[in-house]
Structure 1
Amino acid sequence: MSLNPFEAIVIGSGATGGVAAMTLAEAGLHVLVVEAGPDRSASEALGSEPGNSFRRAEGLISGRHRRQVQHPGYWKQNPALYADERQYPYSTPDDQPFLWTQGRQVGGRSLTWGGITLRLSDYEFKGADHDGYGQNWPITHADLDPHYTALEQLFEVRGARDGLKQLPDGQMASALPFMPEEERFRELLTKERGLPFIHSRGFEAHQRQQTSNWPKSSSNGSSLQRALATGRVDILSNSMAECLEIDPAQERARSVVVVNRSSGERQRLDCNLVVICASTIATVRLLLQSEQQAQSMGFSDPSGQLGKGLMDHVSCCRFFTVPSETGRGATQQSDPSSTLSGAGSFFLPFGNTPETCAGRPFLRGYGIWGGINRFDPPWWLKRNPDRRLGFLIGHGEVLSDARNQVCLSQRCDPLDVPMPHISCQWRANEQAMVQHMQGTIEDCINVGGGVTTSLADQVHLPLVKPIVAKALSAQEDAPPPGYYIHEVGGAPMGSSEDNSVVDRWNRLWRCPNVLVVDGACWPSSGWQSPTLTMMAITRRACLAAVKPGCC
């Protein structure tokens, strides 16, 4: 493969990288997708048991997954989808832990994504108008609406039209039904508290088939697959983008420097357009390495905001049990569609409306995701086989704060590239929000006829109980930043180069042929799961880049 005939280079192959490659290729461009990790087959990427368990044990013993083991997804997926932390290191202050989950393979973290697809409303895009904090987005829901719709229809996501102003309706296939226990829970909460209780929106649980082994929620099984089908897309795997080189006279990126992970060889790849989709922290590291302060051929950031304002959703979780409405049998065996998924679950979308937020001792809003009888162990392992297990997880908007940031460490990774140093912690607003979430969750469980419990106390597995009891999802307090894998910020979009890194079309202010479209461009975090919005932003920016005069 010749590496220099490409009109566009897309850095990263996950949710946004797949959409970028698809959008550009279908517009007629020849595209190179650069991916730091390997290009695996579906069977290699998804794995199977008992192989996944053996790899999980090896990852724990070797230290490859010392931090990522804290995330529940690690225990249900192939651990090979979680990057080797020794090869992709980062540092934090001793008193500010950050759990960075990294997906370094073709498909990125889309292969471990939960598949929830929620739109942001103008209460998020224009949050500063309502409470005076931070910066508004330079776009509205109307700007993203056609792109949300195109992606919802492409992915065939499922959900209902609920008519909520805090959560705009999408164009989706019919919602998956509630489980009987969820329906009973909904009836009680609606009757006693009048709470909004809706079907979650997103992808069904993946069922492996002979014709399509990739999950539809992954870029491998959707956007990237469609991009490759054009014949105008190539993938350069096992090659990490180190930095951009800028033509100072024209203020345009002229090449991307990549490092081969096997040989350490560096190459300069020339192109006309660069779309950065590496995931928030990796993107910010790349931009910091490409800025004038790091190299003479770097771009200029007049705002001084690059690397600042890192956010993640703050969360808390409670497990509970309710009486079974469906006997003792494992429902998922007879009905695989009932498995916990983006569409197979529910939401209490309180949101960020002025009425909801009035009188609260904190700014912005949150939602609660839940499910009942979606992941029950076999009845013979349960301490009470006549009750079903449920969970409620609150996740709320984190305020952008310049003290929460990513910078370049003085230390380098094994490829001699400066590694990111992440300084981020929950502050007073997030702490107050978590207290409110906890009270809301406890009230919902009580009103819904549930009994709060710990996950460890629900199964007859003495050897597993100590591990489960120490899991962050089982703790009373909010897990540290990064845990929810919804990190955004660090290169915010805005209406002026004085207070933002990219413009409303996601172009670097002083280097307009570079688009930053993943979570790094977010000026605020919202409370909703961010991936659908990231993909809609990507589609909008890429279409604008190939249609001169439209922006």
Structure 2
Amino acid sequence: MPLNPFEAIVIGSGATGGVAAMTLAEAGLRVLVVEAGPNRSIAEAFGREPGNSVKRAEGLLSGRHRRQARHPGYWKQNPDLYADERQYPYSTPDDQPFLWTQGRQVGGRSLTWGGITLRLSDYEFQGADQDGYGQNWPITHADLDPHYSALEQLFEVRGGRDGLEQLPDGRTAPAIPFMPEEERFRELLTKERGIPFIHSRGFEAHQRSETSLWPRSSSNGSSLQRALATGRVEILSNSMAERLDMDPAGERASAVVVVNRSTGERQRLECNLVVVCASTIATLRFLLQSERQAISGGFNDPSGLLGKGVMDHVSCCRFFSVASETGRGAAQQSDPSSTLSGAGSFFLPFGNAPEVCAGRPFLRGYGIWGAINRFDPPWWLKRNPDRRLGFLIGHGEVLSDIRNQVCLSERCDPLNVPMPHISCRWRANENAMVRDMQDTIEDCINVAGGVTTSLADQLNLPLVKPLVGKALAAQEDAPPPGYYIHEVGGAAMGASEEHSVVDRWNRLWRCPNVLVVDGACWPSSGWQSPTLTMMAITRRACQAAVTPGSD
């Protein structure tokens, strides 16, 4: 394949990479998508049992998945969708663990994404106006609204229209009905506490068919597929983007240097536009490696903030049980739409509304995601087959702090590229928020007549109990940063080059033909699941890049 006739290079092929390729190709550009991992077939991507379980055992014993195995998704998906940590290493301070989940294949982490699609509100975009902390975003909900809407319709997102200022409504298909136990939970919380209780918004559980092989929540089954259909997109897989090459004046990127993962050969790929969406940590490593402090002739970051202000969502989880309203049988067997999914679940969207946050001993807010009777094991495996299992998970906004950062390690990966060093920890505000989350969750369970329990105690499987009991989701305290795979920040967008890394159109201030559109560009984290907003930002930035006079 000739590799130099392309007008744009997109780095990464996941949720944002797929949207970038689709948007640019549909505008008429010839696009090369660079992906560090392989281009797997459907059979290779999803595997089957018992083969997936064998590979999990091998991944743990070999050290390939020592950290990533701590995420629940690892135990229900093909472990090949989780990167080999020996090939993609990173480091952290001994007292600051960070769980970086990496999806190194065409489709990236969109192949393991839970599919929740929530919009951010102006309480997040303009959060500094509310409490004086940090920086506002240089955009508002109105700037992203047409892009949110276009993507929701493309993806056939499902959800309700709830009229909440803290969670703007989307252009969604009808919501998936609540399970009877969820409906009862809603009635009690609404009556006793007046808590908003809404249908989650997102993708329904994927049902494979001849016309829908890949999940629509994956770029392979949606945006990237549509991009490839234009005939103007090629994918270069098994090639990691190492750094930018700049023009002699150091004001524009002239090429991307990529490393072939099989041979170690480096290649210079020329283009007019570079869109960086490799996922937050990988994007920061690429930018740090391209900045002039790391390489002679690199781009200039006048803010000095590149890599600083990394965030995730701080979280806590509680499992509980309620009396069954539907007998002992598994509802999912007769109704696949009742399976736990981005749309098949519910939210308690407290958010950042001032009336909600007033009087709390912390800044910003959180929401609680939950479900009941959507993931029950067979009744004969349950200690009490007449009760249904549920969970509540709090996701809270983390404050941007320059001490939470990514820098380049002195150690290199197997391709001789400096690996990222991640320093990130929960601080006083996050710890206070988690305590409030825990109290709120316990109160909700009690009001609804539930019984707080551990997942392990619900199963008649003594050999499994020690493994489940050690899972981070089952612990009392908040899991470490990275656990919920919502990391953002480090190359924040803003209104001036003194206080941000990219401008309001996601362009590097001193290198405007490079767009940073994934989570790295976020100046604050919000509490909502971030992927839909990342994709909306990508669509907006790419459209502007190919539209004359859009600045």
| TM-score range relative to shorter protein | over 0.9
Please give the per-residue CA displacement for 1:501-544, whole angstroms capped at 9, x wherever unaligned.
00000000000000000000000000000000000000000000
The count of residues paired between Structure 1 and Structure 2 equals 551
Q: Secondary structure at the match of 2:311?
A: coil
Distance 2:50 2:332 in 1: 20
Counterpart of 2:157 in structure 1 is 157
The equivalences for 1:49-198 within 5 A come to: 49-198=49-198
Counterpart of 1:501 in structure 2 is 501
The equivalences for 1:316-355 within 5 A come to: 316-355=316-355
Q: Secondary structure at the match of 1:489?
A: strand
Greater shift, 503-512 or 51-60, is seen at 51-60
Counterpart of 1:405 in structure 2 is 405
The equivalences for 1:467-506 within 5 A come to: 467-506=467-506
Q: Secondary structure at the match of 2:502?
A: coil
Q: Secondary structure at the match of 2:391?
A: strand
Deviation at 1:250, TM superposition (A): 5.9
Q: Secondary structure at the match of 1:309?
A: strand
> What one-letter code is carried by the residue in structure 2 that aligns with 1:315?
S
Q: Secondary structure at the match of 2:228?
A: helix
Counterpart of 1:229 in structure 2 is 229
Distance 2:294 2:472 in 1: 37
Distance 2:231 2:206 in 1: 27
Distance 1:213 1:323 in 2: 37
Structure 1 residue 238 and structure 2 residue 238: aligned? yes
Please give the per-residue CA displacement for 1:390-417, whole angstroms capped at 9, x wherever unaligned.
0000000000000000000000000000
> What one-letter code is carried by the residue in structure 2 that aligns with 1:492?
A
> What one-letter code is carried by the residue in structure 2 that aligns with 1:449?
G
> What one-letter code is carried by the residue in structure 1 that aligns with 2:311?
M
Deviation at 1:462, TM superposition (A): 1.0
Q: Secondary structure at the match of 1:225?
A: helix
Distance 2:383 2:430 in 1: 35
Deviation at 1:213, TM superposition (A): 1.3
Q: Secondary structure at the match of 1:318?
A: strand
Counterpart of 2:528 in structure 1 is 528
Taking every aligned residue pair, what percent have the same amino acid on both sides? Answer: 87
The equivalences for 1:352-431 within 5 A come to: 352-431=352-431
> What one-letter code is carried by the residue in structure 2 that aligns with 1:161?
R
Deviation at 1:46, TM superposition (A): 1.1
Distance 2:211 2:135 in 1: 47
Distance 1:120 1:210 in 2: 35
Greater shift, 53-62 or 508-517, is seen at 53-62
Counterpart of 2:26 in structure 1 is 26
Contact 2:317 2:393 in 1 (8 A): yes
> What one-letter code is carried by the residue in structure 2 that aligns with 1:124?
E
Q: Secondary structure at the match of 2:309?
A: coil
Superposition RMSD in Å: 0.5
> What one-letter code is carried by the residue in structure 1 that aligns with 2:378?
P
Please give the per-residue CA displacement for 1:39-84, whole angstroms capped at 9, x wherever unaligned.
0011110111111111111111111000001100001111100000
> What one-letter code is carried by the residue in structure 2 that aligns with 1:344?
G
Deviation at 1:550, TM superposition (A): 1.1
Please give the per-residue CA displacement for 1:190-214, whole angstroms capped at 9, x wherever unaligned.
0000000000000000111122210
Counterpart of 1:543 in structure 2 is 543
Give TM-score scaled by structure 2 length: 1.00
Q: Which runs of 5+ in 2 are unaligned?
A: none
Q: Secondary structure at the match of 1:310?
A: strand
Distance 2:540 2:345 in 1: 29
Distance 2:240 2:448 in 1: 49
Distance 2:212 2:141 in 1: 33
Distance 1:338 1:423 in 2: 40
Counterpart of 1:459 in structure 2 is 459
Structure 1 residue 13 and structure 2 residue 5: aligned? no
